[in-house]
Amino acid sequence: MTRSAAELDHRRSVNVALLGCGVVGSQVVRLLTEQADELAARIGAPLTLVGVAVRRPQRHPDVPADLLTTDAAGLVTRDDVDVVVELVGGIEPVRGLLLTALKNGKSVVSANKALLAEDGAALAAAADESGADLYYEASVAGAIPLLRPIQQSLAGDRIVRVAGIVNGTTNFILSAMASSGANYTEALEEAGRLGYAEADPTADVDGYDAASKAAILASLAFHTRVTADDVHREGIRDVSAADIAAAKALGCTVKLLAICEQTDGQVSARVHPAMIPRSHPLASVSGAYNAVFIEAAAAGQLMFYGQGAGGPQTASAVLGDLVAAARNRVIGGRGPRDSAHADLPVIAMGETRTRYHVALDVTDRAGVLAQVAGVFAEHGVSIATVRQEGRNGSSGEGDVDDGAPGPKDATLVIVTHSAPDAALAATVDALTGLDSVRGVAGVLRVEGLGRPVTELGGGS
Amino acid sequence: MTRSAAELDHRRSVNVALLGCGVVGSQVVRLLTEQADELAARIGAPLTLVGVAVRRPQRHPDVPADLLTTDAAGLVTRDDVDVVVELVGGIEPVRGLLLTALKNGKSVVSANKALLAEDGAALAAAADESGADLYYEASVAGAIPLLRPIQQSLAGDRIVRVAGIVNGTTNFILSAMASSGANYTEALEEAGRLGYAEADPTADVDGYDAASKAAILASLAFHTRVTADDVHREGIRDVSAADIAAAKALGCTVKLLAICEQTDGQVSARVHPAMIPRSHPLASVSGAYNAVFIEAAAAGQLMFYGQGAGGPQTASAVLGDLVAAARNRVIGGRGPRDSAHADLPVIAMGETRTRYHVALDVTDRAGVLAQVAGVFAEHGVSIATVRQEGRNGSSGEGDVDDGAPGPKDATLVIVTHSAPDAALAATVDALTGLDSVRGVAGVLRVEGLGRPVTELGGGS
């Protein structure tokens, strides 16, 4: 083939370099092959896979041997590469590779939530400078089209809250605890047996994965820069079977939520387990499914639901981005991005307004409720509902019988109105110092997420 | 101002002409004003409203008088107009205006489902020719980002089914019938009182609105051309309180669905009421909310949920499109579109595979079930479940007692397996000719929509 014919070929196809060929990568290769004709029709030019960088030069069933290379750095700077698809994960060496690719004018499609959450701004700046595209739909909520709707469809609206179930492992565990009454350890073991939890589940159960996604969502939704370090993070290790039962008694269910809010020009982003009303659309999202609830000033309440992980599912999102980047190559355009970012202050968790559910083991004698209520009042926290339960778990009806005669044991279940998180935490600390309080049986945040929570609190 | 300064101004802002200033248009004007700074930051240039075409030159509270004009044709060809936003509705004169605008290189943002469903291909061709953009996110499901996810996020996947609740009026009526036991006429009156139904509700209750949306969804999802005339259409006027009760007894709820499917290179699109399992995510979408369920080969099951109508909600979708069109003006790019369309055959309703729920008033004597089952068998329709109910509405348990002695009255409730719709319709026709069948008490299609429907059929 003469050089000019090769150039013509190159101009006529969009050439793709793939970094990483694991569960998702091999699905991307499969779909590129199986759907070659359809993709070419949608793009206006064929997509050609010109190289696949892998760590070890072993044979790969789905990839022709001559495409495999261990030289990722060489691949991302090759002249004939138009788009780099990155499915390696982690911060280094991927950050350097992608910055190099973008600086060389290659568009980048990535599923790397950790990198985007830590250093998305540097990648976006590099893309802006060279005029290349940077897409990362697959980094949050797998197959669910979410970042494109936030970035483009809602570009004319003001998003005020994004709240989602964005980690399938923890949702599987919490769903299993709710349906079977299992405790956390049992449910985690089941998740591991069924392939929903990794051997080291830390990234999932301690909320690191969800925190990265929260940072990406907050950055896009509020047109500002939020990194994973800005996200308050609590995992699900401490969620007990008693917490799940307490939620059920309140008409709620427990979910690990990533919540991003914008109030008065300030943003907050947090990941923690919370009780949500069973009537909320997010409450019925169970097992390994993901869903994200968005509230915008004009659009109102929206929800996006689907599978948040899995090889083919994530590959679907990657290919959507790849088609977009390739179309832009063909028509000489560029993907939309914000021309300017606000630098909105990220408020600390202590200043974020939340609601608490607190279960207290107390001595059941006259004056206890007055004492407990006094501690809440001292900290400026308003109580929404109080319910008394017998020590054996039977539930009392109506308000606490504060005039009961003997010093028996009882449980006080209190749900607060919203207050700064620091005030709520300080209240719980102070309660443990009361001699009538034998212990705090459970503390969980309560989130209405734009829905009334009138059913909370049982009898009151 | 010198001419060159005017040109500079023009280059520096993206100029918008608005056609129509009703419920949605006035919200668009409001948001353009209130969010001017944010929109300019996102676009990289200010958006300037340069004219508003209205039918009658009356004062409009939200629009400066000097922007109002009754000369829509003049407005859409003005040199300084970059983007035309059309919120008039109907086929003519809008089609001519938008074709003129596109041929003159103006980008078009439209919420006009009827026009897009009838002649979207001509508009797309005009946009292709001049390099202008054509966006119409607001034409389907109001505020819900839906067309952009289908067209872009899922561009690397194969969509096999789109099934949605895309008409808020009918969903309100069916939800009211389900929750209160009201009949259709009562529920329609309530919808009218509350502003959810228009004085002439034909477009909604007879399914015309949903059929337009189905045509748009099928065209985008399957990369082909489907018009409203290709869509089989049945409305909800004939849905009875008994149908709703029958659905409840089967663990189902009745929804007016727009269903688009692709099988073996053929597509089908239909709008009709159907029973769906209460466990399906669409079943809990009530009142005026919309939701669309999408199944794709790689992505699996996805759902999009939100408000399908309303001024601010629809304006949110319009502004998202407007920002996209304006960004493309600023960076000199173009919105993505398919480079080629397949011309997939649209199969007739009779060939589409569906399932039926049939309630028959029969003479309760020996041999009736055998006779009825024989008619199903003759038409090649397989019965999934049969249940017998007493004439007074009390429900029998288990299979039909076909050996009962006396000629009492009873109701046979039959749910079929899937079969060509024509075979199902012919079966129902033939059943009415049996002397043991006193009448057909109800016929409704049953849709599992990718979910098991094992709970159907009650006792069997």
- Judge contact between B89 and B20, C-beta under 8 A: yes
Q: Is B155 in CB contact (< 8 Å) with chain A? A: yes
Distance from the Cα of B158 to chain A's closest Cα (Å) equals: 9
Cβ distance A317 to B299 less than 8 Å, yes or no, reads: yes
CA proximity to B255, closest of B299, B308, B207: B207
Asked whether residue B459 carries a pLDDT value surpassing 70, the answer given is no
Determine how β-strand B252-263 pairs with β-strand B353-364: unpaired
Asked whether residue A421 carries a pLDDT value surpassing 80, the answer given is yes
Average pLDDT of the residues in A187-213: 96
Q: Which residue of A has its CA nearest to B295?
A: A306
Contact flag A340-B44 (C-beta cutoff 8 Å): yes
Do A155 and B323 lie within an 8 Å CB cutoff?
Answer: yes
- Tell me the CA distances in angstroms from B303 to A64, A145, A319, B145, B286, one per residue in order: 37, 10, 19, 11, 15
Question: Cβ of A47 under 8 Å from any chain B Cβ?
Answer: no
Residue B269 clears pLDDT 60, i.e. is over it: yes
Report CB contact under 8 Å: B334, A333.
Answer: yes
Once rounded to an integer, what is the mean pLDDT over residues B141-153?
A: 95
CB-based contact (8 Å) between A296 and chain B? yes
In chain A the first and final C-alpha atoms are separated, in Å, by 82
* Contact call for B299 and A284, based on CB within 8 A: no
With contacts defined as CB-CB under 8 Å, which chain B residues touch A152? 145, 148, 320, 323-324
Binary contact (B322, A149; C-beta < 8 A): no
Helix ranges restricted to H, A206-250? 208-222, 241-249
> Is residue B10 scored above 60 in pLDDT?
no
Nearest CA in chain B to A286: B281
Q: Is B149 on the interface with A (CB under 8 A)?
A: yes
Q: Confidence band (pLDDT; 50, 70, 90) for B259? A: very high
Contact yes or no for B106/B81 (Cβ under 8 A): yes
**Beta-ladder partners of A17:** A51, A84
Using a CB-CB cut-off of 8 Å, the residues of chain B touching A342 are 41
CA distance A299 to chain B (A): 4
Which of A213, A248, A255, A408 is catalytic? The answer is: A213
Read off the tokens for B133.
Answer: 């953009």
Of residues B281, B321, B328, nearest to A305 (C-beta): B281
| Chosen from A157, A323, A329 to mutate, greatest number of chain B CBs within 10 A | A157
ipTM, interface predicted TM-score of the complex: 0.91
CB-nearest partner of B313 from A148, A284, A298: A298
Residue A271 · residue A204 · CB < 8 Å: no
Interval B192-234: pLDDT, tens: 999 999 999 999 999 999 999 999 999 999 999 999 999 999 9
Q: What is the pLDDT of residue A343?
A: 87
B307 touches chain A (CB under 8 A): yes
Catalytic (active-site) positions of B: 213
B434/chain A closest Cα distance in angstroms: 46
- Provide DSSP, B50-88: EEEE-SS----TTS-GGGEES-HHHHHT-TT--EEEE--
Q: Does domain B349-446 have CATH number 3.30.70.260?
A: yes
Taking contacts as CB-CB distances below 8 angstroms, the residues of chain A near B319 are 155-157, 298
Token readout for A180 is: 């079977």
Whether the ω angle into residue A93 lies within 30 degrees of 0, i.e. cis, is yes
What pLDDT is attached to residue B124? 94
Mean predicted confidence (pLDDT) in B278-293:
92
> What's residue A459's pLDDT?
34
Average pLDDT value for residue range A40-54: 95
Give me B362's structure tokens: 């029969």
- Pick the residue from chain A with its C-alpha nearest to B333: A333
What pLDDT score was predicted for residue B4? 40
Whether pLDDT at B398 is above 50: no
Question: Min CA distance, A20 vs chain B (Å)?
Answer: 19
What's the pLDDT at B407? 57
Average pLDDT over residues A20-32: 96
Distance of residue B50 Cα from the nearest chain A Cα, in angstroms: 18
Q: Look up the CATH number of domain A147-307.
A: 3.30.360.10
In the prediction, which pLDDT does A186 show? 97
A32 pLDDT above the threshold of 70: yes
Interface residue A140 vs chain B (CB under 8 A):
no
Q: Predicted confidence band at A333 (pLDDT cuts at 50, 70, 90)?
A: confident
pLDDT above 70: percentage of residues in chain A: 90
A5 pLDDT band, cuts 50/70/90, is very low
Class in CATH terms, B147-309: alpha beta
pLDDT in tens, A366-400: 889 999 999 999 999 999 999 987 754 444 444 44
Q: Would you tell me which residues 17-36 of chain B have a C-beta closer than 8 angstroms to some C-beta of chain A? A: 27, 31, 35
Residue percentage of chain B with pLDDT more than 70:
90
Q: Is B138 at the interface with chain A, CB within 8 A?
A: no
The residues that bridge with A254 in the sheet, in sequence order, are A275
- Per-residue pLDDT tens over the stretch A198-208: 999 999 999 99
Taking an 8 Å cut-off on Cβ atoms, the answer to whether B149 and A148 are in contact is: yes
A148/B144 touch (CB, cutoff 8 Å), yes or no? no
Q: Is the pLDDT of residue A8 over 50?
A: no
Pairwise CA distance, residues A244 & A223, whole Å: 36
Residues in chain B within 8 Å Cβ distance of A157: 31, 316, 319-320
* A315 in B contact zone (CB under 8 Å): yes
* Residue from the list B44, B306, B340 with its beta carbon closest to the beta carbon of A303: B306
B334 CB near a chain A CB, below 8 Å? yes
Q: Residue A8 — φ and ψ, nearest 5°?
A: -60, -45
Enumerate long-range contacts of A53-58, CB under 8 Å, 24 or more apart: A53/A17, A53/A18, A53/A19, A53/A20, A54/A20, A54/A21
Closest A-chain CA to B42: A338
Cβ within 8 Å, pair B41-A300: no
Domain-by-domain residue ranges, chain A?
3-142+312-331, 147-307, 349-446
**Which of chain A's residues have a Cβ under 8 Å away from the Cβ of B39?**
156
State the burial class of residue B394 (Cβ atoms within 10 Å of its Cβ: 0-12, 13-18, 19+): exposed
Give A350 or A340, the one with higher predicted confidence: A350
Half-sphere exposure of A279 (CA within 13 A, CB side): 11
CB A88 within 8 A of CB A65: no
Average pLDDT taken over every residue of chain A: 90
Among the ranges given (A237-241, A437-441, B407-411), the one the predictor scored with the smallest mean pLDDT: B407-411
pLDDT value, residue B85: 98
pLDDT of B273 higher than 80: yes
**Section B374-395 average pLDDT:** 82
Q: What is the mean pLDDT of residues B91-96?
A: 97
Residue in B closest to A324 by C-alpha: B152
Q: Is the pTM of this model over 0.90?
A: yes
Residue identified by tokens 């045509």 is B215
B3-142+312-331 maps to CATH 3.40.50.720: yes
Contacts of A315 in chain B (CB under 8 A): 156, 298
Q: Under an 8 A CB cutoff, do A298 and B334 touch?
A: no
Residue B392 reports pLDDT greater than 60: no
Scanning A203-262 for CB atoms below 8 A from B yields 223
CB contact under 8 A, A154 and B148: no
> pLDDT digits over B302-361, tens only?
999 999 999 999 999 999 999 999 999 988 777 766 555 778 999 999 999 999 999 999
Chain B residues close to A156, C-beta within 8 Å: 31, 35, 39, 315-316, 318-323
Arithmetic mean of pLDDT over chain B: 90
The pLDDT of B266-293, averaged and rounded, is 94
- 8 Å CB contact of B333 and A338: no
Read off the pLDDT band of B454 (50, 70, 90): low
